[in-house]
Chain A
């Protein structure tokens, strides 16, 4: 409250209240518009999936008023003989679980080594890890395909799961290392005085303390693997080994431009689990941003 307060700050309280209210209205209007654009396609998808299976594409007018709501579209998609959607779902669950577990194991062990132990060449090796993040996965796809074919793993769970984490092993190690470094070493030292080995410290001290970071990595790995399309498309050829994401594309091609309600029912089935997962786990996505040190 010094003498050089600018005059504008002393505008009448009523006027400034009106201005502030106006700004709030504008902010909300903009946000609502954007939210509409991100949510409306999903609403359209769900509504269309309940239209009569042979209906024309809905327009904005008919979207909420079809000739009856056809929940049986879903049972039709679930029992469609050429597209065993249950099998796709099982495949997606197995592949995703496998990748997430493999990822957590490899990354947490390596992160412990980089964060807590001294060894020759440690920093150089860590730089190599970080450099592999720069390599686009697509450079690796052709040789990986050849490798998997050579191993006889095409069209198997091994081929779908094992070469997968090229996507994120380095990222995961980096993320977990950042977190492990922040765990006070006094905990390890106490355990070490009690005669604990590194493996026991890792298991009984570090991992329990790092649960949020592990959950974050698991959340990212889950989304990346579940929604990935390129690798499962190449690594599988028989219908029974397809994942949901690939199966959906096959389904779409089978009904090219027709039977939209059925296509959308299939799309909703593929989308629903991953959206639910995101809603439950969303705080870990935000945490990942903070953990990787990107706060600015």
Chain B
């Protein structure tokens, strides 16, 4: 027993491989990205002049980059609250002690583990004018059914939001479900005896006790939303009229089509900073909300 507690050099041997690995493939690239961001670094040009904060000031006035930032923020603001609320609702449904819930959970998880390229191909069909599933439903309800959802700037981003709700549903639901199931059943029974209906039990027991789970789901959903890429690449290529040109796709083009690695690194750092700031704000707000509720 004592031998476990004694400091020893053997610990270093065990953590060394992963530490070296992270140093080489995470920390070193992070530093290199910072170095590149301070240079004008074209992949195929021999000289890489130092420009200091030049890349960042250029980004500040670049209308296309600004649009990519606002597209990304709009996507985050729409998809995160909707994604969290729908997943929580579905988790409450599958938490009911009814038959067949296991099957439903499995079905809901399927999009999350599927190939995003394949799913994007299906969504292209869903959103097509005339023959698509969505327009088919519109027609059935008596509408024209000719909207080209991926071809109109207003619709394309909304379509990506809808797809994100659908893809992320399973994992978010499972996390909420684990949270709901860890709440002692006696609390609900006591509340029911006191005459609380289901909605009030949800509001006053489930929701406050789920606060830590909520924080985790909100933060991870947000981080994932900032990193939207594959559906954009397969379905819209940033169009129409740059309306779905989100940051990660923008960075992809800067780096691998224009080959401006310095500028792309600067953009990645802006993305990194945005994620950090938003995650920190969420930590602050949700933690306060949590303690506030539990004190009542």
* Contact status B115-A252, CB under 8 Å: no
Chain A residues with CB under 8 Å of B96's CB are 24, 27
Chain A residues with CB under 8 Å of B116's CB are 227, 229, 245
From 119 to 145 in chain B, residues with beta carbon under 8 angstroms from any chain A beta carbon are: 119, 121-123, 125-126, 128, 131, 133, 136
CA distance A166 to B111 in the complex (A): 24
Chain B residues with CB under 8 Å of A166's CB are 25-26, 29
Partner of A34, one of B90, B115, B209: B90
B51 at the interface (CB under 8 A from A): no
Chain B residues with CB under 8 Å of A117's CB are 4, 8, 10-11, 14
Chain A residues with CB under 8 Å of B80's CB are none
Chain A residues with CB under 8 Å of B6's CB are 118
* Closest-CB distance, A172 to chain B (whole angstroms): 9
A175 at the interface (CB under 8 A from B): no
A107 at the interface (CB under 8 A from B): yes
* Closest-CB distance, A48 to chain B (whole angstroms): 8
CA distance A122 to B11 in the complex (A): 8
CA distance A188 to B2 in the complex (A): 11
* Contact status A5-B193, CB under 8 Å: yes
Partner of B178, one of A118, A119, A227, A289: A289
* Closest-CB distance, B16 to chain A (whole angstroms): 8
* Contact status A139-B114, CB under 8 Å: no
* Contact status B195-A9, CB under 8 Å: yes
* Contact status B29-A143, CB under 8 Å: yes
Q: A-side binding surface: helix, strand, loop or mixed?
A: helix
CA distance A37 to B122 in the complex (A): 12
A183 at the interface (CB under 8 A from B): no
A217 at the interface (CB under 8 A from B): no
> Which range contains the number of A residues in contact with the other chain?
35 or more
Which of B60-68, B153-161, B226-234 is the contact stretch? B226-234
Q: B-side binding surface: helix, strand, loop or mixed?
A: helix
B36 at the interface (CB under 8 A from A): yes
* Closest-CB distance, B40 to chain A (whole angstroms): 14
A-B contact count (CB 8 A): 274
CA distance A286 to B181 in the complex (A): 12
CA distance A95 to B28 in the complex (A): 23
CA distance A70 to B181 in the complex (A): 46
In the complex, which residue of chain B has the Cβ closest to the Cβ of A41? B122
Most buried by A among B108, B117, B123, B193: B117
A101 at the interface (CB under 8 A from B): no
> Which range contains the number of B residues in contact with the other chain?
35 or more
* Contact status B169-A106, CB under 8 Å: no
B293 at the interface (CB under 8 A from A): no
0/1 string, A260-274, CB within 8 A of B gives 1:
100110011011001
* Contact status B14-A110, CB under 8 Å: yes
Chain B residues with CB under 8 Å of A31's CB are 93-94, 104
* Contact status A139-B104, CB under 8 Å: no
Chain A residues with CB under 8 Å of B276's CB are 134
* Contact status B118-A142, CB under 8 Å: no
Partner of A8, one of B9, B169, B195, B233: B195
CA distance A245 to B7 in the complex (A): 47
In the complex, which residue of chain B has the Cβ closest to the Cβ of A26? B93
In the complex, which residue of chain A has the Cβ closest to the Cβ of B10? A198
* Contact status B115-A110, CB under 8 Å: no
From 1 to 54 in chain A, residues with beta carbon under 8 angstroms from any chain B beta carbon are: 5-6, 8-9, 24, 27-28, 30-31, 34-35, 37-42, 44-45, 48
* Contact status A227-B175, CB under 8 Å: no
* Contact status A165-B21, CB under 8 Å: yes
* Contact status A106-B18, CB under 8 Å: yes
Chain A residues with CB under 8 Å of B175's CB are 289, 294
Given contacts A6-B194, A245-B117, A296-B212, contact A136 B183 (CB under 8 A): no
A230 at the interface (CB under 8 A from B): yes
* Contact status A129-B94, CB under 8 Å: no
A285 at the interface (CB under 8 A from B): yes
* Contact status B121-A264, CB under 8 Å: yes
A147 at the interface (CB under 8 A from B): yes
From 265 to 296 in chain A, residues with beta carbon under 8 angstroms from any chain B beta carbon are: 267-268, 270-271, 274-275, 278-279, 282, 285-286, 289-290, 294-296
CA distance A106 to B26 in the complex (A): 14
Chain A residues with CB under 8 Å of B210's CB are 296
* Contact status A136-B18, CB under 8 Å: no
In the complex, which residue of chain A has the Cβ closest to the Cβ of B268? A139
Partner of A35, one of B4, B104, B128, B271: B104
Query: Nearest 8 A-B pairs (CB), nearest first?
Result: A113-B14, A296-B179, A119-B11, A6-B195, A117-B11, A143-B29, A110-B18, A143-B32
What would 13 A/B residue contacts be, using CB atoms closer than 8 Å? Answer: A38-B111, A39-B107, A59-B136, A113-B14, A125-B19, A132-B26, A134-B279, A135-B272, A166-B29, A188-B4, A192-B4, A198-B10, A202-B14
